[in-house]
Structure 1
Amino acid sequence: MTTRRNWFEGWRLFGLLTLTLIGLSIWIAAMRQFEVEGVRMVIRFTARTSLLLFCLAFSAAALARLWPGAWTHWQRRNRRYLGVTFAASHAIHAVAITAFAMLDPAGFAAATSIVSYIFGGIGYLVIIALTATSFDRTAALLGSRAWRRLHLIGGYYLLLQFMVSFGKRIPEMPLYALFLVPLAAVFALRMIGMVARPAPREAQAG
């Protein structure tokens, strides 16, 4: 059976979403004349877009397995591109964090800790590794079993990191608990998907 595809697919999807994220980030920073508050708004914005894109990519296989349909097939088919767009969103996030550190060193020091440096740094290394192996050639060089382990362990590490990053703000801003809902849903979907059907031995890149 031939899979119907639409215009919003593949690298076109990645390019359009990434350009949109860049444009919106510049616009947000410009609203505050590219000063510290504008940069911090970009940090918050890209944290949320990264959360959304991560959830879409990491839940794609489970959703397609549990509820096959036009949307879930599209999501599964474009999981690779959603994941790479997530990496682009977090790259913008890193640029904004760097700008914050340069514009307001004291404020940056107060907002961070050695723990955030360590776990945040590991998170970025994971994102780099996942992105670098999201292409057919690099995935083939790594091997299907190692690829699956890397993307599985890396995905769950990022899921945990998102939970901690948003969860630690709940005491001061209770509405941040809402950001844990999609993360918990993704975890539940993956667990249900694993029970519903055993994981395949071989995984394809994307």
Structure 2
Amino acid sequence: MDDRSRSTRAWEGWSIVGAVAIALILVVTIEAMTASAPVEGIRGIIRATARTSFALFSLAFTASAARHFWPNAWTRWQLRNRRYLGVSFAVSHFVHLLAILALGRIAPAELAAHADSVTWIFGGIAYVFIALMTATSFDATARLIGRRAWTTLHTVGSYYIWFIFANSYLSRAAIIPAYIPAAALIVFTLGLRIAARVSRARARSRAVASS
């Protein structure tokens, strides 16, 4: 095995989750140690984990569609490791939740100003989906619930999580220009998924027509 093959295998499967976990530990440590006050450190962790969660979710959410339109080494890796990118997203987003809860402990008024009951309800549902999708990301649990239930859970859950990200970034982009790139990316991810679905449906129709 050459060095290039070893390097590729090092970034496959659960090693991705491990690398993300280590990166998150470093981020939390740096933010906590460099902040001028505990509240500032927690705010920094919340912002950083929001970005890592969005990036990892986008990679998992678009894996199949990206492979469909751009079949290359990167998209093959992306699709092959979609499960682990999804679990990495879950790890990142649960760290994000812990930071939010920590902010609520030391600055409850600040958290209350940004998160009302509706936010907690819809966000809570997203975390239920994340927990269930993570729990069924193992072969044994996937077999336990069956293929149909697994597909339904992961499809509905991924679109619901997309909706939560879209609501967050699109609403912010309307008043804060710095959020426009993230808003554009979240719209692009859905557009890519829809385009791939339409493309596959047309390909199947042509195959049936020609048979």
**TM-score, normalised on structure 2?**
0.88
Matched, 1:105 2:108: yes
Matched, 1:126 2:129: yes
Matched, 1:181 2:184: yes
Report which of the two structures shows the higher radius of gyration computed on alpha carbons.
2
Task: Specify the code of the residue in structure 2 equivalent to 1:136.
Answer: D
Q: 1:167 Cα shift?
A: 2.0
User: Partner of 2:198: helix, strand, or coil?
Assistant: helix
User: Partner of 1:124: helix, strand, or coil?
Assistant: helix
Distance 1:126 1:34, change over 3 A: farther
Structure 1 Cα separation of the partners of residues 99 and 48 of structure 2: 10
Q: 1:171 Cα shift?
A: 4.0
Task: Indicate the residue corresponding to 1:203 in structure 2.
Answer: none
Show CA shifts across 1:32-81 (max 9, x none): 15611110111111111100000000100111122111000000000011
Task: Indicate the residue corresponding to 1:201 in structure 2.
Answer: none
Pick one of 69, 94, 97 that aligns with 1:66: 69
Structure 1 Cα separation of the partners of residues 63 and 140 of structure 2: 22
Structure 2 Cα separation of the partners of residues 8 and 171 of structure 1: 37
Q: Write 1 or 2 for the structure with the bigger share of helix.
A: 2
Task: Specify the code of the residue in structure 2 equivalent to 1:38.
Answer: G
- Residue identity over aligned pairs, in percent, reads 45
Structure 1 Cα separation of the partners of residues 168 and 85 of structure 2: 21
Task: Indicate the residue corresponding to 2:172 in structure 1.
Answer: 169
| Conservation of the 8 A alpha-carbon contact between 2:57 and 2:86 | yes
Show CA shifts across 1:132-156 (max 9, x none): 1111111111111111111111111
Provide structure 2 residue ranges, at least 5 long, that are not aligned to the other structure.
Answer: 202-211
Provide structure 1 residue ranges, at least 5 long, that are not aligned to the other structure.
Answer: 199-206
Bigger mean CA deviation after superposition, 17-26 or 128-137: 17-26
Q: 1:168 Cα shift?
A: 2.2
Q: 1:172 Cα shift?
A: 3.8
Structure 2 Cα separation of the partners of residues 169 and 138 of structure 1: 38
Structure 1 Cα separation of the partners of residues 69 and 143 of structure 2: 28
Matched, 1:50 2:36: no
Task: Indicate the residue corresponding to 2:160 in structure 1.
Answer: 157
Structure 2 Cα separation of the partners of residues 173 and 94 of structure 1: 23
| Conservation of the 8 A alpha-carbon contact between 2:136 and 2:142 | yes
Task: Indicate the residue corresponding to 1:117 in structure 2.
Answer: 120
Task: Specify the code of the residue in structure 1 equivalent to 2:88.
Answer: T
| Conservation of the 8 A alpha-carbon contact between 1:22 and 1:92 | no
Taking only aligned residues, the RMSD between alpha carbons, in angstroms, comes to 1.4
Structure 2 Cα separation of the partners of residues 113 and 28 of structure 1: 26
Structure 2 Cα separation of the partners of residues 128 and 30 of structure 1: 30
Task: Indicate the residue corresponding to 1:16 in structure 2.
Answer: 19
Task: Indicate the residue corresponding to 2:208 in structure 1.
Answer: none
Bigger mean CA deviation after superposition, 108-117 or 171-180: 171-180
Q: 1:191 Cα shift?
A: 0.8
